[in-house]
Structure 1
Amino acid sequence: MIVNESVLVLGISLLALFFAGFLATKINQSLTAIFIIVGMILQNFFPVTIITEFIATLGIIFMLFMFGLEFSVGSLVNNQKKIFYTGIYDFILNFPLGLLIGWLLGYDLIQSLLLAGIVYVTSSVIVAKSIIDLKRSANPETEYILNILIFEDMFIATFLAFIVGIVNYGKIDAKSIFFVMLKTSAFFMFFIILARTSKKYIDKIIDIDHTELFVILILSVIVLSAGAAAKIGLSEAIGAFLAGLLLSETKQRHRISEAIKPFQQFSTAIFFVAFGMSIDYKHFGNLIPMAIFIFILSSFSKVFGGYLIGKKYALSKKAGLRLGFSLIPRGEFSIILAGAIAMNHNLPYPLQCLTGFYVLFSAILGSIIMKESDWFTKWLIERREKEIKPIDDSSTMGPHKYL
């Protein structure tokens, strides 16, 4: 009976997602934000069921797998300098900001670190889709946007493994940090070495003509990798990410992506709904002003950082500002981090709920700002030029000005 009710709830959720998603596409809005709002509405009618929780977990696993599949160990190694330097600028300007905000809000170290990650990481899904929709693939800043996204995703994947490992270890001290770092590094190195040395053999193993057997084999690799990560005290999502990284080196990469994409899209949508259903309305009044405040601070930090990166790589002022505006949306990784461990709801700003509202603001407003970034950059540059112009005029008067 419980299973039957869960299936009915799932059916209602999917129907609600369809209509909401259809509306979102008509107004060119982020599906991430819309799906969270659907979850917030549905929580008034029924609770999160065991089937919804299970599919939401699969959503995280498939999402991270698809991220890993988009990378190539070879291309990361070849482009490592540019990825590192652009990424480190972005990291220095944004990660400590979240850490400081967490400390000011009275969070403990783990919660402050999670908030730092939430504030720091840009939504790769929203930004990549917006670049395609706005036809900006050939823009001079796009290469640097993608480099930053790669750095952020790689960092957050490692960070998630580390933070979950620390929580599972039970305490934070030098010994536990060393042990978790060693374990995380060993797990990453195993998959990277396997990807670099066994590509030929992996290609042979997964070269299966029968579609059903091919999908079953790929799913088994994903789930076993996720399970292995969980078994040693890391996040299941990291195992899935590394499985994607492993298979990204194969000739079947495109076929794998096409086979897994429907599973990923379905389960990810349910993941966002389940997250929306976890947002507690009783904190609504306290959270909205704080979420807006964090959004404004983190948006300014991203734009400023993008502008500096643009200046370093000799981009125009407009391209540098567009780079910064493109980094404002937050989404999938922020939500995954918020749900990484159970938060203390007795705090004035429960992290999971705060993240929900923060992601809503940044996903919706960030998408709009990115779309209208040409207008914003033109307005900012023209305003700056008007402020400087009187000074420039007076400087051309020469020495007789002082006579």
Structure 2
Amino acid sequence: MKIGILTLWLGVDNYGQQLQIYALQKYLRNNGHDAYLIRYAYQTDILYTSEKNKLSKKVLRLLKIFNPIKLKTYIANKILLSKVSRINKENSRGFEEFRKKYVHVSEEYYKTYDEIKINPPEADAYIVGSDQVWNPACLNSNLEVGRNLMNTFFFNFGKKDMLRIGYAASWGITELPDDWKQAISPLIVKFNFIGVREKSGIKVCEDCGYKATEFHGPAQWVCDPTLLLTAEQWRCWYKQEYEENNSEEKNKYDKNTDKPYILFYYLNNGSNFNIKALYDFAKERNLEVKYVSGNSNIDKYKKIYPTNDEWLKLIDEAEYVVTDSFHGSVFSILFNKQFATMELKGKNCGMNERLNSLFELSHISPRFIKDCDTNPDFSILDYTYNAEINNGGGEILLKVLNS
């Protein structure tokens, strides 16, 4: 079966995003399906066509000009984005090369929803997921501005009898705004199967009107695609890739490997983590800190910029892993590492559902660090655990496709 996969894929510093693309495609291809990534420019397909939105943009610009606080924030953000762009250019993580080598893609590069609606990707089935493909914050919180993204990520295109599937799709929140529910409702009911990454996502689907019918069952809770491949499959891949590119430059993060280290993978999604406390903890235990950042995070601490295979190797060989990343936690569990995860606060606290679901799905107690922002308690790093990963979502997906 030919399967077009729609997901977030254009990141330059998000390892989990890239590896979930590879994992779902690899799993489907291993099971006889012709799976490929639909190349869609979701980052720029936003609408500012209405007079209301044009006026809103003008008003916002005026506010920035005449309001010193807003102007200062605007300038600071511009400077930050410029700095992030420069850092990413100077320290490529090889994601584009990774996709060219390992990800099968559509011939067409769709720049807008209109393009994908007029000329839909050729396939027998469409799958959306994983990652936060249904999070309004990712689709653009303003429904009118983000309507193209919503229509695309809920498959409002293609033949009526096309198989429409959500696999490990994440809402990223536990409650949708009412206007989003109303807009999504007529689209989500056309899906033949929905598997959500967070347990709480089942209720969000129900709130949008997706319930069991004579044609399909209710939404189900399934594992992230990265868990469809075993630890040994991931090790085999990163070791082969690492050895193929064996060079002094490629092995730059192997220097001083005799000294045990903490891998610190920090996206700064809202934990306000006390980084200095981690370095103090590492010094007490005579550990090095290898700091990898993402999500355009910038601070004063020295960082490294590994490729996907190097990142997996760094996790696998670490003494400890400390992270606020969902996929950082996933691979720590897969490689049975002693790890700790930061609990997010504020507007991003809904994203903790990803981690709660991951811990429950793996049959382990939550491994959150307490008091992240003031006096982090790292004692959880020394607590052992025995994970029993439930990856039955893959069998469910294959059953849906084969039916």
For the aligned pair, the TM-score class normalised by the smaller chain equals: under 0.3
Q: Which has a greater percent of helix?
A: 1
Report which structure shows greater RCO (CA 8 Å, sep ≥6): 1
For normalisation by structure 1, the TM-score amounts to: 0.26
Larger-gyration structure (1/2): 1
TM-score by length of 2: 0.26
